[in-house]
Amino acid sequence: MNKRKRFLTLPILLIMMSLTVMTTAEETITSKSIRHAQPSTALPEFNVPENLAMSGLDISSPSSTVHKVLGYTTVAMGLLTGILNPEVVGEDLHQYMGYSAAVLAGATMTAGFISHYQDIGISSGFSSNNIHTILGIAGGTMMMITPFLAPSDAHQTVGELGVLTMGISILGSLVF
């Protein structure tokens, strides 16, 4: 197998799995809404107590959930890539992880745009959504550029800044 194709296998599989989850969730929501539209099949109401509800998982917006999962995965992959540098694990594995982090960063930004494009705008000033977007795009872009800077000194600096910026973007959205 070509070396470049081998590097892209894991990120492509992760993206395909995310899209499958998103499609399945959308089909489930659509079938439930169609079922609720028919007056003859009334389903019993079930309210989840607030202390048991999963506030971070919004199944009404599967693309938003995919964006969150991809964001966490991207930052984790970026951190692992930095910790497992070429001196620790060898050049090939580090390179594979770096390309995976870059592809995941692009997928995260794409999923974020698809699920949150209506939440972003300068009319609301520096809202938490806008700050999350600016930091996420900056960090994701740096992570996507990083593999192309290797083996220069800027490679490590831009990679670390990208992961840090994307991590701050996630922490900011959790706190504010």
What pLDDT, on the 0 to 100 scale, is given for residue 3?
56
What pLDDT, on the 0 to 100 scale, is given for residue 92?
94
What pLDDT, on the 0 to 100 scale, is given for residue 20?
60
What pLDDT, on the 0 to 100 scale, is given for residue 54?
44
- Please list the ranges in the chain whose pLDDT falls under 50: 25, 29, 33-35, 37, 40, 46, 48-49, 51-57, 59
Q: Helix/strand/coil (H, E, C) string of the chain? A: CCHHHHHHHHHHHHHHHHHHHHHHHHHHHHHHHHHHHCCCCCCCCCCCCCCCCCCCCCCCCHHHHHHHHHHHHHHHHHHHHHHCCHHHHCHHHHHHHHHHHHHHHHHHHHHHHHHHHHHCCHHHCCCHHHHHHHHHHHHHHHHHHHHHHCCCHHHHHHHHHHHHHHHHHHHHHHHC
What pLDDT, on the 0 to 100 scale, is given for residue 118?
83
What pLDDT, on the 0 to 100 scale, is given for residue 34?
47
Report the mean per-residue pLDDT for the chain: 79
